[in-house]
Amino acid sequence: MLTPEQIETKLDRILLKVQKPGRYVGGELNSVVKDWDSADVRVALVFPDIYDIGVSNVGLKILYDQVNQRGDALAERAYAPWTDMEALMRAEGIPLYALESKRPLSGFDLVGFSLPYETLYTNALNLLDLAGIPLRAGERGAEHPIVIAGGHSTINPEPMHAFMDAFVIGEGEEVIHDIINVLKLRNTQYAVRDDLLLALAKIPGVYVPRFYQPHYMDDGTIARVETLAEGIANPVVKRIVAKLPPPPTKFIVPNIEVVHNRASVEITRGCTRGCRYCHAGMITRPVRERRVDEIVAAAREAVRSTGFEELALLSLSSSDYTHIEELVAAIGEEFKDEKLTVSLPSLRIESVSIDLVDKLRGRRGSGFTLAPEAATERMRRIINKFISDEDIINTTREIYRRGWTNIKLYFMIGHPSETLEDVQAIADLCKRVIAEGRKVAGMKVKLHAGVSTFVPKPQTPFQWVSCDTRENILAKQALLKRELRDRNIKLSWTKPEDTLLESFLSRGDRRLAEVIFTAWKNGAKFDAWEEHRRFETWMSAFAEHGLDPAFYTHRPRRADEIFAWDHITAAVRKKYLFQDFRRSLEGHIRVDCRLNCYACGILPTFADLRRDNPGEGWKCPDVKSPRKADVSDRGQPLAIR
Amino acid sequence: MRLRVAFSKQGALRYIGHLDLHTLLERAARRAALPLVYSQGFHPAPKIQIAAALPLGFSSRAEMADLWLSEDRDLVSLRADLQSALPRDIQILDVQQADDRAPALQTLVVAAEYEATIPDEFASDLTSRLAALMEAESLPRVRRGKTYDLRPLIESLEAAPAEGSGETRVLLRLAAREGATGRPDEVLAALGIPPESARVERIRLIFRD
Ligand code: SF4
């Protein structure tokens, strides 16, 4: 294994030949360089996209802090080198190394991948390869790190099962400590790798695929998933933290320009809106909120310790934070004498939102973003995001009137049962918005319609539906391009190939692992990047393994189908999801569940946590029933058979 | 108050360019709670001047920047605050108050000295190669598709063998005026030394009086 000094010497010879060498050298303020020999467990946290994107990832930042706060462990970081750097690293024999110590990843005890979205899968393989770690979990031995993945996409871990020793399902703040505690016994109690993996598999929220065996039916769907070891959970229930821990504030300050140069504070986690297409909304329940004073103090400390010009207050739906008005007032007051841009994403479409942003003195030039997602009442009922056209028109008119010249509206096409009329309505709505804007603010007003395509996601009410076909998507996009020709309306859309790629990776089963492997072998990587789109490579990988992508993307799923991910649960019951899917077909909306709990499954699963955290922080009702230990068979999400 | 800060730039920060250094200094000043003076207008920019851009990949123990503050501060405590707000690869060497009306810092620099450490394999008859370069009438070179003459940008060259270390040092003094700046890697290349085999450090900036 190369020493850090050898790696540094080799790096010095190549770094001037690549774009932005600052990506590959570390040395950022607030990065933590610990003494290698002082730690029992060394963790490499990997975001498998380029530094410019990965360095501001909040999830990894939280884990970086959690691990580095321990006296017995250290955490370092690695990102995907861009292709110019990768080529030189391979040519010079430089393995993937961690930025802090410049040690090869293969020398760490634990390599943890963040996989928030599926288009990072091939990059994860590529990085394992670049690190010289065997790609397949089954080929790793005692000398190799344990390779783990977490993040939203791993709520269906099956497509990546062959490459990861384990997955973290749900939130990582606590589980990372359990994992490290097991890894500390790596050289004593768990010297045999299988024993170590079994110990990991027994940690609540950790899924070790080798101990689970799916059995298929003749039609290719799942018959059942067998557990191959005693004492491991089936289903594996996601982990959550009862109370959000203090937010990280010592953000790494990159020395080069990156995508998000900002500090952020998570104000709430989870969402009770229940938009049926929304993966994050379904899998991050329950809603837990931070207190205003805690957020303001964290924001103050984050700005002080980074010097960033921007602060983001993060949540899935800012308007739903109980104390949003109070928070905005307090943040405005705290930073009133400073040059700081505060951003508040995901606001509801109502004039109150404009007041909130106004109070934060957001930069006018940067535009105002809203997400109606659909443009007809029928469609909004189906997706459970109910806003009236009038609200949209009134809110956008007011935004223009108050001086913003640019509004960005997010829509999605391809929702279940969508017709061309529903798509036409998107164009009509955009035209109306800009026409109304011109009345109050003149010809300078601009609109950006960002129209993505819906991808049915596992563990959501739409996990039963088919993805829209390529032809339909193209026809709908052609309609929008034809209708939205106004030069002050900018239209952006997602290529159907990208949608299909995300679609089969999202709801794939274990057989997709071979497809991913072959696609990567044949050159697929950076799948989210325009210049790396290699759809044909993917299609031939499917063909090579005798699989049909339509099985994953377009096959209508039976109501009682057992999905490849059913032995993993986000604690929202399948029965509930199915009921909600049926309500969608009938055009029934469900209001915010904090007004009316629908018993989605969160409470019985986490009743003890809820009971220990009564009152305001959680937005699910208080639990009064007896403890789980007193009641048999609670907390097991029901499976539909 | 106009501050003149001398600092070193080493390690990872060798790979940080001029614009990024500007942002880095701005953020460090904010972290240290220094009241920077900002320009007016839609995109207010802090008033910071960096003496001379340092080519990517070179370390330096002789960088200099001017920062304008809206109020006077004690230099001793300011230096400590600023140092603790900087990444470890920048060390402050000196902080002085500068004359507010003095010309822009960039216009004061006339030359820079570099120390290049090269492997001994490229050191044979180095002295005579240095002399040959100095005696040349002109040294036409192509950089970014443009031909220019390197010779007038070289003020002096000197070899300083480091006994027994297997390495040799070359001292280069090159012009560093706006629009006429010599690059040490270009000189090394003209000497037949592959620039990537050398470690180059800027050791001094020379200002006009
Ligand atoms: S348990 Fe009730 S309140 Fe909590 S997320 Fe589920 S439906 Fe909403």
SS (H, E, C) A391-410: HHHHHHHHHHHCCCCEEEEE
Tokens of A455: 């991808």
ipTM over 0.95: no
Instruction: Evaluate whether B128 touches B158 at the Cβ level (below 8 Å).
Output: no
Q: What's the A174 CA to ligand 1 centre distance in angstroms?
A: 22
What pLDDT, on the 0 to 100 scale, is given for residue B40? 84
φ/ψ of A97, rounded to 5, equals -125, 160
Which atom of ligand 1 is closest in space to residue A597's alpha carbon?
Answer: 2
Environment class of A206 (CB within 10 Å of its CB; exposed 0-12, middle 13-18, buried 19+): buried
Q: Please indicate whether residue A620, judged by its CB atom, sits closer than 6 Å to ligand 1.
A: yes
Cα dihedral: A125, A129, A134, A138 (round 10)? 10
Answer yes or no: is the C-beta of A600 below 6 A from any ligand 1 atom: yes
- Dihedral angle at the C-alpha atoms of A194, A197, A198, A201, nearest 10 degrees? -160
Contact A16 B57 (CB under 8 A): yes
In the beta sheet, which residues pair with residue A147? A111
pLDDT for res A362: 56
Chain-chain contact of B16 with A16 (C-beta, under 8 angstroms): no
Our answer on whether the CB atom of A272 is closer than 6 Å to any ligand 1 atom is yes
pLDDT at A352: 84
Cβ neighbours around A25 below 10 Å, total: 23
Q: The tokens 């963040």 sit on which residue?
A: A114
Distance CA A313, CA A265 (A): 5
Task: Supply the pLDDT for residue B8.
Answer: 98
Respond yes or no on whether the N-terminal peptide bond of residue B119 is cis (omega within 30° of 0). Answer: no
User: Are A413 and A476 in contact, with CB atoms under 8 Å apart?
Assistant: yes
Task: Give CA–CA dist B47/A138, Å, rounded.
Answer: 58
Taking residue B42's Cβ as centre, other Cβ atoms within 10 Å add up to 7
- How many Å lie between the centroid of ligand 1 and the Cα of residue A463? 19
Interatomic CA distance for residues A339 and A309, integer angstroms:
7
- Beta strands (DSSP E) in A445-592 are 446-453, 489-493, 568-569
pLDDT for A633: 45
pTM of the full structure: 0.94
Distance CA B186, CA A118 (A): 46
C-alpha of residue A600 to centroid of ligand 1, in Å = 5
- Closest partner residue to B27 among A21, A25, A308, by Cβ? A308
Mean pLDDT of B76-94: 96
pLDDT profile of chain A (641 residues), mean per 10: 95 94 96 96 98 95 96 98 98 98 98 97 98 98 96 98 98 97 95 96 98 97 97 97 94 94 94 93 96 97 94 93 94 89 87 85 70 93 91 94 93 96 97 96 95 97 96 97 95 96 97 98 94 94 98 94 98 96 93 90 94 88 71 43 34
Nearest residue of A to residue B200, measured between CA atoms: A12
CB of A570 closer than 6 angstroms to any ligand 1 atom:
no
Which pLDDT value is given to residue A324? 94
Are A146 and A196 a contacting pair, CB within 8 Å?
A: yes
Residues 6+ apart with CB under 8 A from B131: none
On whether any CB of chain A is under 8 Å from the CB of B23, the answer is yes
Cα(A611)–Cα(A233) distance, integer angstroms: 23
What tokens were used for A327?
A: 């928070």
Residue A303 near ligand 1, beta carbon < 6 Å: no
Is-contact A344 A319, C-beta < 8 A? no
At residue B48, φ and ψ (nearest 5 deg) are -135, 130
d(CA A602, ligand 1 centre) in Å: 6
Q: Does B166 touch chain A (CB under 8 A)?
A: no
Q: What is the DSSP string of A450-481?
A: EEEE----TTSGGGGSPPPPHHHHHHHHHHHH
In this structure, of A354-368, A390-404, B21-35, B146-160, the range with the lowest mean pLDDT score is A354-368
d(C-alpha A467, C-alpha B86), whole Å:
50
In the three-class reduction of DSSP (H, G, I as helix; E, B as strand; rest coil), residue A168 is classed as strand
- Which residue from A594, A609, A623, A625 has its CB within 8 A of the most atoms of ligand 1, so it is best to mutate? A594
B199 close contact with A: CB closer than 8 A: yes
* Residue among A202, A159, A161 nearest A182 (CA): A202
| Token duo for residue A419 | 């017709």
Q: To the nearest 5 percent, what fractions of chain A are helix, strand and coil?
A: 40, 15, 45
Identify the pLDDT of residue A639: 41
Ligand 1 atom showing the smallest separation from residue A621 Cα: 3
Residue with tokens 């996409």: A153
How many CB atoms are located within 10 Å of the residue A160 CB? 27
Which residue type does A248 have? P
Whether A513 contacts A542, CB under 8 Å: no
Nearest CA to ligand 1 atom 5: A286
Distance from CA of B76 to the nearest CA of A (A): 21
> What one-character DSSP code corresponds to residue B203?
E
